[in-house]
Structure 1
Amino acid sequence: MPPIIGITGRPQDVPAVTLTITAYLAAHTYTDSIRQAGGIPIILVPVDESEVDDVLDRVDGLLFTGGGDISPKLYGAEPEDTVRGVNEHRDIFELELVKKAHARKIPIMGICRGLQVINIALGGTLIQDLPSHTGVHGHDIVGEGVYEPHLEAMVKEGTRIAEIIGPGKHCINSIHHQAVDELGEGLSISAVAVDGTIEGIEHEDAEWPMIAVQWHPEFLGMRDNGDAHDLFKALIESAAKYRADA
């Protein structure tokens, strides 16, 4: 049986007959990427802390997806005017998922917000808005531009991400206005944009297959970018090994 990958759902208001309700969704770009890599995707919705272990009992790996900003209160900061799309219910659930997945050595991959969730769960902090704090622009592309690379990032030699897609310069797509500030415990930088923005992180624990990227390989993969597919394949391979060893 293929590995089961839990994908974090994004809350979105949707019409339902005569009213509007909140649904937890995952874009087809995420689910298609997991399926093409050989896994079976299931969408995860927030549950109580006491139920997180029950969720993890049923998956072989996790994909933390993009979405709104994480509540700055959860990393000891006051929210600035630029913060948008906060959903603390989702935030708290995903932070707990990371911590318990770490304890179990469950393979995880983070994309965009997902990278930021992992960093915060392990004690890190964020820059709440790149343009206003650092003067860096060009990381918040919208529309059809998300499918094409528009930035350059350097992948550090000797990192897990380098083992997957190769070290050196890579062309990436970024859709974010926040970024890692202080790294969480045990995390190291594996990719950096030419402007200095952290674009990839991983954990120093060799027994925990964890990688996270600030860019969006699920969009690049829709245009047959080989590097993007390789990242998802690495997650599935790690998840298959986790299942076999369980």
Structure 2
Amino acid sequence: MSATTGRPLIGVSTYLESKASWGVWELPAALLPAGYPRLVQAAGGLTAMLPPDDPSYADEVVARLDGVVIAGGPDVEPVRYGSERGERTGPPARERDAWELALIEAALASGTPLLGICRGMQLLNVALGGTLVQHMEGHVEAVGVFGTHEVKPVAGTLYSSIAPVASAVPTYHHQAVDRLGRDLIVSAHAEDGTVEAVELPSGAWVLGVQWHPEMGEDLRVMSALVRAARPSAGGGIA
């Protein structure tokens, strides 16, 4: 953990794009949609961007943080969970997969509070030996357009303590959890039965959500991470 006594330092993983444009420039870039740092800031935290790096550095990076967020992004490469690539699965992002899996493992090993968002939830499941549904319908409104649907918490879970009743959330995904990773439990469902949140029921604060809280106004999930990440909280479930 970092030695801060003020606002917790939350590391957020980033995209790594071969070409991005701004001003007169068109260059490779590590980038993050502004909704992520804004959400962390609104919830009372400080944000550090974590672009893909050598996975062997993950322990050192996580040791300097109070909390970790694995952001949304491209599909997890199916070889990571023992499957062949389906025709609707996107191209691999191998540097991100390797780096973010190492961040997840480092956070779990150190007890650092961990939040997975969309891809991040799926990667958490894969890191713990689970598998994914490679394509599903009904959770994307249109290409490049976030939709909204309701998720219902499972009573008695960490997520239900954050959001006790069903609520509408911003969503954009075509993959989902299939077989749960070891020790994970489901803590929210969509109306069609899709797993919308997973968590570890004991030990450190670990939660994955299928939706995109950074695209909405609801601070509850990120605020819960920030509270757990405060040095006085010790990383445990609040």
Do both share a fold (TM > 0.5)? yes
Matches within 5 A, 1:73-112: 73-112=79-118
Distance 1:242 1:17 in 2: 43
Indicate how the Cα distance of structure 1 residues 242 and 21 shifts in structure 2: closer, same or farther if over 3 A, else same: farther
Q: Once the 2 structures are TM-superposed, how far is the Cα of residue 151 of structure 1 from its aligned partner?
A: 1.5
Indicate how the Cα distance of structure 1 residues 18 and 216 shifts in structure 2: closer, same or farther if over 3 A, else same: closer
Do structure 1's residue 9 and structure 2's residue 5 form an aligned pair? Answer: no
Unaligned runs of 5+ in 2: 1-5
Q: Once the 2 structures are TM-superposed, how far is the Cα of residue 120 of structure 1 from its aligned partner?
A: 0.5
Q: Deviations over 1:108-156 (max 9, x none)?
A: 11111110011111111100001xxxxxx3201347852xx63222111
Distance 2:33 2:47 in 1: 11
Distance 2:145 2:232 in 1: 36
Q: Deviations over 1:181-216 (max 9, x none)?
A: 0101110000011101100100122x2101111011
How many residue pairs get matched?
Answer: 229
Match in the other structure for 2:40: 34
Residue 12 of structure 2 aligns to a residue whose secondary structure is strand
Root-mean-square deviation (Å): 2.0
Indicate how the Cα distance of structure 1 residues 89 and 216 shifts in structure 2: closer, same or farther if over 3 A, else same: same
Match in the other structure for 1:161: 159
Indicate how the Cα distance of structure 1 residues 104 and 160 shifts in structure 2: closer, same or farther if over 3 A, else same: same
Q: Deviations over 1:18-77 (max 9, x none)?
A: 984321111111100000111100110122122111111211100111111010011111
Q: TM-score, normalised by structure 2?
A: 0.90
Q: Is the 8 A contact 1:3 1:243 kept in 2?
A: no
Distance 2:88 2:150 in 1: 25
Distance 1:85 1:63 in 2: 23
Match in the other structure for 2:213: 217
Match in the other structure for 1:196: 193
Q: TM-score, normalised by structure 1?
A: 0.87
Q: Which amino acid aligns with 1:161?
A: Y
**Most deviating of 44-53 and 183-192:** 44-53
Distance 1:238 1:81 in 2: 40
Indicate how the Cα distance of structure 1 residues 121 and 5 shifts in structure 2: closer, same or farther if over 3 A, else same: same
Do structure 1's residue 238 and structure 2's residue 228 form an aligned pair? Answer: yes
Distance 2:22 2:207 in 1: 37
Distance 1:44 1:184 in 2: 24
Unaligned runs of 5+ in 1: 131-136, 222-227
Q: Is the 8 A contact 1:75 1:124 kept in 2?
A: yes
Distance 2:8 2:91 in 1: 31
Q: Deviations over 1:73-104 (max 9, x none)?
A: 11111111111142111101101111111011
